[in-house]
Chain A
């Protein structure tokens, strides 16, 4: 499929082709059959597939509470949310496929451990408040990252993001509402909410990726308008939007250095533990092994089902030919 797509495409421009850059600068959308530099294609495949994998792996920590949701309304809402994340995975794999790579190949990269996914999903969900916190903070951080992607130079990715962002905002509001209910509840519920914030706050700040000084792909991605804001600027936007929400809940952030800088109007925050970030990304987070093992098990356990569907379809096709 990959070589086919290339054969049909016009001659591939160089990474610094001025005509390609001119299209980008003019805010033209690049579409699947357009000429594009190989590095542009590769960068997008990497980014879109990592994003798709994150949606799919992200179903696990929240899925962990579906059977224990504390009311029928919450159970239905959580199940629908986790289902939305699966749907995001599906459109994102489809967007990646427009670049000439198959979903099977991408899934194989995930299961073999070659592909990355968001580090946040390697943390455990230990209480019901984690479900509120994930909606509020993790979906909140995802929105900060993804709103600019709705204007990404690559058309299919930009369009997928528009739909995804609408659902993520709904998830974020729903998560915040869970937190609000807990924080207005009993002492035990409030303690549950505080404990969840304590555990998730720093990992959420890490979701924006390494600091700008160490971000390996940022410059070219910005030039190609795959990315429009730097990691640090998105992180700051997130902190500025989130801290007042947390204070409204009556919660305390686990950062003694957090304070409003009156001159800039931004919330200043403490040093992120980048060693922890690297450790989790390289496989030694609290749940990396479990998450990957769960995906591998689902894939292996489902092999006979996928084979049966294929065998049946082949029989039908053969039957139609014979008829």
Chain B
């Protein structure tokens, strides 16, 4: 492994592959942070499954990006600086409470589902999409079921779920290419959850261009510590 940070090329093909891979890795990493701390044991196992799916998707996508950049999956994950990451801002936000984690998983999974289904000209991505589509369908189902329980559960869970939806909303612009279609998938679940759909106004963005929140640097500092501390070591 190289000692210093790597800077993969700027071509749109590379950037597309990296954006997909980074979304999956960073959300997988955040989801994995719940391990040992989830609200109940069954959910512990479900969140670990979801994190494993996402990390698996990230690996396949980094391998696809590696075909164009000549870098290994681990070089791409562990040796890029925050500004070289292309994930949407929403996935790097800290987990917050369980409502925030679930609402984010729901919003992002609905967007991912649309991307997988839209198909890719790039055969390397089509192969990944085929498997990821099934996994994402499960993530949507799991997150939606919880969001409905939380929204329509107790007063406290309703309040937390609504706060999560409101806080996340400005970050959903960056993950939706077709806003109307995304809203059409999200709205019925919000209604069943008795949650208010926020109005679309200013949307935060920048992740796709490498302008991130303050949180990504901390996440990567933790994630990358071993390969950065011991350059060239094999693990």
Q: Point out residues on A near B: beta carbons under 8 Å.
A: 56, 59-60, 63, 66-76, 79-80, 82-83, 86-87, 89-90, 93, 128, 178, 181-182, 185-186, 188-189, 294, 297-298, 301-309, 311-312, 315
Interface assignment of B200: CB less than 8 Å from any CB of chain A? no
Cβ-defined contact, A188 with B230, below 8 A: yes
Given A66-B32, A312-B149, A86 and B157 touching (CB < 8 A)? Answer: no
Q: Digit string of B30-62 for contact with A (CB within 8 Å is 1, else 0)?
A: 001101111111111100110110011011001
Q: Which of the residues B33, B55, B148 comes within 8 Å of A72, measured between beta carbons?
A: B55
Complex-state Cα separation, A118 to B104, whole angstroms? 36
Complex-state Cα separation, A316 to B62, whole angstroms? 44
Nearest chain B CB to A86's CB is how many angstroms away?
5
Cβ-defined contact, A305 with B33, below 8 A: no
Interface assignment of B77: CB less than 8 Å from any CB of chain A? yes
Given A189-B233, A294-B37, A312-B149, A67 and B42 touching (CB < 8 A)? Answer: no
Please classify the interface of chain A as helix (H, G, I), strand (E, B), loop, or mixed, using the class held by over half of its residues: helix
Task: List residues of chain B with CB within 8 A of the CB of A75.
Answer: 32, 55
Cβ-defined contact, B226 with A83, below 8 A: no
Complex-state Cα separation, A79 to B160, whole angstroms? 28
Cβ-defined contact, B41 with A86, below 8 A: yes
Cβ-defined contact, A312 with B153, below 8 A: yes
Q: A61 — nearest CB in chain B belongs to which residue?
A: B36
Task: List residues of chain B with CB within 8 A of the CB of A186.
Answer: 230, 232-233
Task: List residues of chain A with CB within 8 A of the CB of B152.
Answer: 312, 315
Cβ-defined contact, A86 with B74, below 8 A: no
Q: Which of the residues B25, B35, B74 comes within 8 Å of A79, measured between beta carbons?
A: B35
Complex-state Cα separation, A60 to B44, whole angstroms? 12
Interface assignment of B234: CB less than 8 Å from any CB of chain A? yes
Interchain Cβ contacts under 8 Å between A and B, 15 examples = A70-B78, A70-B235, A72-B62, A79-B35, A80-B48, A82-B48, A181-B235, A294-B37, A303-B39, A308-B153, A308-B154, A308-B156, A309-B153, A311-B153, A311-B154
